[in-house]
Amino acid sequence: MIMKKILIIISMALLASCASQQSASKSTDASTPMTTSPEPAQTPTTPITVNKDASGNLSGRANKAAFMQAPFDAWFEVGYNNYTPDSETLEELKPALEDVEIRAYMGTWCGDSKRETPRFYKILDAADYDYDKLTMITVDRSKTRPEELVDGYDLNRVPTFIFYRDGKELGRYVEYARESLEKDVLKIVTGGDYKHSYQQ
């Protein structure tokens, strides 16, 4: 039991930063499907076809249901259930998100993504967000694959949540909060004074 805890702590330390780095084990073209259900829009609870790379990490489009399947459910459910967003901020956020589209990037190998992604879904659920407007993409360690979903989005760290209105980028949340996830998102979508964690 003690050895298991030590291994978990070491693993978390190694995954603490999710900045750009070359993959130790690259994705293979022959990815393993996680589920064979037909791919609907981004409904949160219906499984979609999600691929796994050679390391067992998700690769490609995903949704909440994908994260709720083993082994990802171990960190997703804990993170989701243990997070309580600020209720006043949620009241302001709900109408502000109505006409906003989100393109989200995360890595199932990344400690920051494992922390922020469940919280992100908790906030979107509480705000009654329309999941047809969310594109969630899981990437490899180099953040260059799947190439067709990554190219052109200036992706350096994960998680990165990019917010759009009428096709125009409003801003992005990168890796960790300045204030809190929901308060940072509110500033982004309402045009408040906001710079993500790596902007000067």
Question: Going edge to edge, which strands form the sheet with 168-174?
Answer: 32-33, 51-52, 58-62, 134-138, 101-106, 160-165, 168-174
Q: In this structure, what token pair is assigned to residue 78?
A: 């804990």
Residue 124: CA atoms inside 13 Å, Cβ hemisphere, count? 25
CA distance 15 to 33: 24
CA distance 14 to 1: 20
Neighbours of 33 (CB within 10 A): 11
Instruction: Please state the length of the chain.
Output: 200
Q: 10-residue block means of pLDDT along the chain (200 residues)? A: 48 53 36 34 59 92 94 97 98 98 98 98 97 96 94 96 97 97 98 93
Q: Would you say the pTM of this structure is higher than 0.85? A: no
Domains of the chain: 31-190 (3.40.30.10)
